[in-house]
Amino acid sequence: MLSIKDLKVDIEDKAILQGISLDIKPGEVHAIMGPNGSGKSTLANVLSGREEYEVTGGDVSFLGEDLLELEVDERAQAGIFMAFQYPVEIPGVTTATFLKSAVNAVREARGLEELKPVEMLRLIRQKADMLGIDHKFLQRSLNEGFSGGEKKRNEMLQMALLEPKLAILDETDSGLDIDALKIVSDAVNQLRQADRSFIVVTHYQRLLNYIVPDYVHVLYNGRIVKSGDKNLALELEEKGYDWIKEEVAAGIPSL
């Protein structure tokens, strides 16, 4: 599904990612963990096509295509979805209007017909019900005045509607209380399926109690310094990141 080879990325001439390689197969959930400033969010943003990042080396192929050659909207249409850490507000545009436009844009790019308004409404309501989202929410301006939990739930609703092949969750758990965290995790778990993969970027292990990953990678100083299964996350929870930093400093090769 996604193959990253020796990816190097700069921001304003500063090297942030210094050679990342990662293979993700259909249906897998990969957690990317690491201390602040390790490059986790950079990886998420580069994959979704944000501009201010400069790729200085490496390849990324997604479903056989050179991902780095695609524009942001083309990546989305091809099936990459990013759940934002800080979803933006768009005043004056209702959530329903936004969802409708996004779904139809993606459908058009995928060679499907636009949904009729009635069908669209039915679809949006059905997904909203699935995620326990109040329909009133749909008539409010996109993310404007939403609580942190509501914004993240809105991200999940968009994910459910756009049916991505690869969903990237960029610190979706940040700023959420335990109830909101459960709601978001439930949404992800409902959307897990054999042909859909996830990259879960997180600083904390607690999210991974709910979204159980197949693999856990530790990013430090722009490199993946350790990979393992869900137990690695538990180990990090218990011991913190310092032992990994020490291992890196001592030159112990990663697993």
Interface with another protein (CB under 8 A): 48-52, 71-73, 75-77, 81-82, 84, 87-88, 90-93, 97-98, 101-102, 105-106, 109, 141-142, 158, 162
> How many whole angstroms separate alpha carbon 60 and alpha carbon 41?
16
* Cβ-based nearer residue to another protein, 31 or 78: 78
Q: How far is the CB of 51 from another protein (least distance, A)?
A: 6
Reduce the DSSP state of residue 124 to 3 states and report it.
Answer: helix
Give the nearest distance from C-beta 91 to another protein in angstroms. Answer: 6
How many CA atoms, within 13 angstroms, populate the side-chain half-sphere of residue 223?
11
Task: Specify the residue for token string 């083309």.
Answer: 74
Label the pairing between strands 29-33 and 215-220: parallel
Q: Report in angstroms how near the CB of residue 94 gets to another protein at its nearest.
A: 9
The residue (of 50 and 239) whose beta carbon lies closer to another protein is 50
- Pick the closer one to another protein by CB: 98 or 241: 98
- Determine the distance from the C-alpha atom of residue 67 to the mean position of all C-alpha atoms in its chain, rounded to a whole number: 16
Using the minimum distance from each CB to another protein, give the nearer residue, 71 or 238.
71
Judging by beta carbons within 10 Å of its beta carbon (0-12, 13-18, 19+), is residue 80 exposed, middle or buried?
buried
Which is nearer to another protein, 114 or 177 (by Cβ)? 114
For helices 95-109 and 148-162, angle between their N-to-C axes, nearest 10 degrees: 30
Residues 6+ apart with CB under 8 A from 181: 173, 206, 207, 210
Q: How far is the CB of 53 from another protein (least distance, A)?
A: 12
Smallest separation, CB 194 to another protein (Å): 23
Q: At its nearest, how many Å lie between another protein and the CB of residue 106?
A: 4
Looking at the Cβ atoms of 25 and 110, the one nearer to another protein is 110
